[in-house]
Chain A
C-alpha cells in the first residue's frame, strides 16, 4: 500500500491548527479547533484506506478497490463531530447568555484553597480544638454570609482578600 503524502501533510497541518485553537479560552475558538483537528484526523483515516482514485465497491477486483472500513469509521467520526459541534455551540451560547462572554472561567473553590495557602492559613477542613475564637482555622466566621452558594463562595473570596 502506498500512502498519499498530500493527505498526510494536510491532516497534520489541520491538526496543528486545531491544537493551536484548542489552547484558547474562548469556547468558539475551541469549537473551531475541535472541528479542524477532527477533520485532520479524518484525513489520516483516508490515508490508511489505500491509494487515491479507487472506490470501495464490492464485486470489483479486490486489489483495485479502496479499503471500505476506514470510510465507515470516518462516517461515524463525522456524525460524532457534528454532535460535538452542536453541543459546544449550545454550551458557548449558554455561557454567553449567563456571563456575557464565552470564556471558560477558573474554579472558584480552587482559588479559595490557593489563596489560603498563599496567606499561610490552615486548610478549611482543619479543626483547631485549642481556640474556638480563631476564625481562620474553623471558618465558622463565614457562616453569617447568606445567599446562593456561588455568591457565597464569591463573597468569601472577597472576604479573604480584605484580610
Chain B
C-alpha cells in the first residue's frame, strides 16, 4: 500500500481545522470539539505513518510532483514520524484544557476565540518542521509555529505577558533572521537546500565554509532548543503564558530545535560531529540549567529551568555521534516531551486549586491526594527514579557516553548523574513546600478538585498515565529509537528521497 499521500495530512488537517474554528469563533464549545477531534485524527494518521515508516523505510512525497526535484518534499522517516506522533498525542490532550476562564484570566474581554485557530496552526507548523525535506521548508515550518507562539504567549496582552512576550518575540525574530542568513549562504555555496542533495555538495566545499555553515545553523537551532549560552530567554518568557500554552511550548517547541540539531548533525554534516564542542555545551546546559532551577521560588520558573537543563541530556546523545547515543537521545526526547508537558499541566491544576504557583504561598495541597499523585509521578520520572522512563533514558545515554571512552564523555556522565540528583532535589522541594508545608493562618482556602472541570482531571490523569506507560513500552520504543538512529546513519533518507523523485 502506498502511504505517500498520508504524509502531508498532519500539516493540512490542522490548517483546515484552524479555518473552521475561526468560523466557529462565537461557539467556544464547538471550537473545542473541532480542534480536539482534528488533533486526535492527526494522532491516528501519525501512528499509521509511524508504523508504515518502520515497515517500509522513509515515506517520501514530492508535493505537486514537479519535475527534476524542483518542488517541496515531505519526508516521514522513523524519526520524524515518531516526533509527529508524540507531538500530536500531546497537543490532542492539551487542547482540552483551555476554558474561557483560563484563556482570558487576568484580562477582561480577551479574544478567547483566537486560541483554538492559533493552537491548530501551531501544531501544523510543528508537523511541517518535523516532516520538512529541505532547509527552506524547515524554515517555513519554524515561522508558522513561531508566529502562532507569539500570539499564544501574549494571549490577553496583559502587562506581564507583553513584557515577557517581547523578549521571546525579539529573540525568536533574531533567530529567524540568522536562519535566513544561513539559508542564503547555503544556497549561494551549494545551489540547493534539499536535505537529500546537501550532504554530498556540502562535503565538496572548503572546510572553513563547511564549518561556518554548520556553526551558523547550530546557533540558530541552539536558540530554538534553548541550549547554553543561548537559553536565557526561556525561563523569562515561558512562565507568564497560560498554563496549557506553557505546557505545549515546554514540551514541543524546544524539541523541534533539538530535532533540527539531529538532522543537522547526522544528515548534513555526518563527518564533522564537533563532539568536543557539543559535549562541553551539553554539560554546561545541564549544570547551569539545574542550578538555576534550585534558586527559583516559583514552580513554573523552576520547571522552565529544569527544561533547559534536560535539553543538555539530548544534546549529550547527539554530541557523541554514535548510534547508541542517537538512539538514547531520541528515546529521551519522547520521554521528555510527555513528562514536561504533564508537569506543566499539573502545575496549571495546582495553580487553580492552590490559587498560586509561588512556593511561598502554597501549602497543604496534600489534602488533595489525586493532585499529589499527579504531581509526584512525573516529578519522580523527571528526576530519573527507576522504574520510570526518565531513568531508562538517562541510563541509555550514560551507557552510550561510557562506550566512547573519552575523558570528556566521562565528565559528561558525571555531570548527567549530578544533574539528575539536583533535578530530584528541585522537584522534591516543590513537593515538600506545596504539598506538605503548613499553610498560613490567614489562608482559609479549601483545597478541593471540585474547582476544576472534571474533564481536566481526566485529561491530566491520562497524560500522566501515558508517562507511566512509557516504562511498559520502553522495550519496543527503545528498539524503534535505535532503528531510527541506524536509519539516519546508513543514509536511508537520501536514497528514499532520490528514488521517489517524479
Contact = CB atoms under 8 A, between A and B. Distances in A.
A88 B173 CA distance: 10
A120 interface: no
A25 B295 CA distance: 27
A91 B154 contact: yes
A30 B358 CA distance: 33
A125 B165 contact: no
Given A73-B136, A87-B147, A113 B295 contact: yes
A94 B294 CA distance: 34
A117 B177 contact: no
Given A37-B177, A73-B183, A125-B297, A140 B166 contact: no
Nearest to A95: B162
Contacts of A48: 184, 187-188, 191
B116 interface: no
Interface in B294-332: 294-298, 301-302
B294 A104 contact: no
B203 interface: no
Given A70-B187, A104-B167, A143 B442 contact: yes
Interface stretch (B33-41, B94-102, B121-129, B428-436): B428-436
A107 interface: yes
Interface string A10-51: 000001001000100001001000100110010011011000
A27 B184 CA distance: 26
A92 to B, nearest CB: 8
A38 B180 contact: yes
Contact of A45 (B173, B187, B361): B187
Interface in B150-174: 150, 154, 157, 159-160, 162-167, 169-170, 173-174
B106 interface: yes
A126 B426 CA distance: 10
B170 A104 contact: yes
A153 to B, nearest CB: 9
Interface residues of A, number: 54
Contact of A139 (B70, B160, B184, B297): B297
Contact of B157 (A94, A107, A143): A94
B176 to A, nearest CB: 8
Interface in B343-381: 356, 358-361
B273 to A, nearest CB: 28
Given A41-B180, A95-B162, A143 B360 contact: yes
Given A34-B173, A48-B188, A95-B162, A15 B360 contact: no
A27 B154 CA distance: 15
B140 interface: yes
A117 B143 CA distance: 38
A60 interface: no
Interface residues of B, number: 54
Interface in A98-152: 98-99, 104-105, 107-110, 112-113, 116-117, 123-127, 138-140, 142-144, 148-150
B185 interface: yes
Contacts of B487: none
A148 to B, nearest CB: 7
B149 to A, nearest CB: 11
Contacts of B181: 15, 41, 44
Contact of A76 (B140, B159, B359): B140
Contacts of B443: 143
Interface of B: 70, 106, 136, 140, 143, 147, 150, 154, 157, 159-160, 162-167, 169-170, 173-174, 176-177, 180-181, 183-185, 187-188, 191, 236, 239, 294-298, 301-302, 356, 358-361, 426, 429-430, 432-433, 437, 440, 442-443
29 contacts: A22-B174, A30-B170, A34-B174, A34-B177, A38-B180, A41-B181, A44-B188, A67-B191, A73-B183, A73-B187, A80-B176, A87-B147, A88-B173, A91-B165, A91-B169, A94-B162, A95-B162, A104-B163, A109-B296, A110-B236, A113-B296, A117-B295, A123-B296, A123-B297, A139-B360, A143-B361, A143-B443, A149-B106, A149-B160
Interface of A: 3, 15, 18, 22, 27, 30, 34, 37-38, 41, 44-45, 47-48, 67, 69-70, 73, 76-77, 80, 83-84, 87-88, 91, 94-95, 98-99, 104-105, 107-110, 112-113, 116-117, 123-127, 138-140, 142-144, 148-150
Q: Please list the 4 inter-chain residue pairs (A to B) with the smallest Cβ-Cβ separation, ordered nearest first.
A: A124-B297, A48-B188, A139-B360, A44-B184
